[in-house]
């Protein structure tokens, strides 16, 4: 009965071969190699990025990492970069391969990734640089004199 009300529910969404290839390449960059895991994660990623373009995949993954790390959505690109570094350095693909893009990831994964986050550079300040004289400084007199050989 449920299938009659929602015909798309229960049927896996089929992607083009190119879209499936893009998603699998993206997931392999996280260290996922097992085919069953790739299939499941591609399905999850496909729900988040229905057209599976590169920009949409990056945006969806960035939003997931931003929510996971508790960052604002405006920092999704930074969250994706920092999250990927933390994911790879902690080798989370071996310990929690199916936690990627999960609705409720394991608390141990969250703690491990937060500890491994790289420190990001500070935000760019809007202050202008003070004017300074860029002329080369004059050498002192003792540096301009010729050197004398030392007596041995």
Percent share of the chain, pLDDT over 90:
24
pTM: 0.66
Q: Where are the domains of the chain?
A: 16-117
pLDDT of residue 102: 87
* pLDDT tens for each residue of 19-47: 888 889 999 999 988 899 889 988 888 88
pLDDT of residue 1: 40
Average pLDDT on 114-123 reads: 77
CB 84 within 8 A of CB 90: no
CB 93 within 8 A of CB 56: no
pLDDT of residue 67: 92
Angle, CA 56 vertex, CA 53 and CA 58 arms, to 5°: 110
């Amino acid at each position: 009965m449920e299938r009659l009300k929602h015909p798309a529910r229960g049927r896996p969404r089929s992607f083009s071969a190119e879209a499936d290839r893009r998603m699998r390449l993206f997931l392999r960059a996280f260290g996922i190699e097992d085919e069953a895991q790739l299939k499941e994660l591609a399905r999850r990623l496909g729900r988040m990025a229905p057209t599976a373009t590169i920009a949409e995949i990056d945006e969806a993954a960035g939003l997931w990492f931003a929510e996971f790390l508790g960052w604002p959505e405006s920092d999704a690109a930074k969250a994706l970069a920092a999250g990927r570094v933390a994911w790879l350095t902690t080798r989370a693909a071996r310990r929690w391969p199916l936690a990627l893009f999960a609705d409720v990831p394991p608390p141990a994964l969250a703690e491990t990734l937060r500890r491994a986050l790289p420190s990001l550079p500070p935000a760019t300040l809007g202050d202008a640089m003070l004017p300074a004289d860029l002329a080369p400084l004059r050498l002192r007199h003792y540096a301009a004199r010729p050197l004398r050989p030392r007596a041995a």
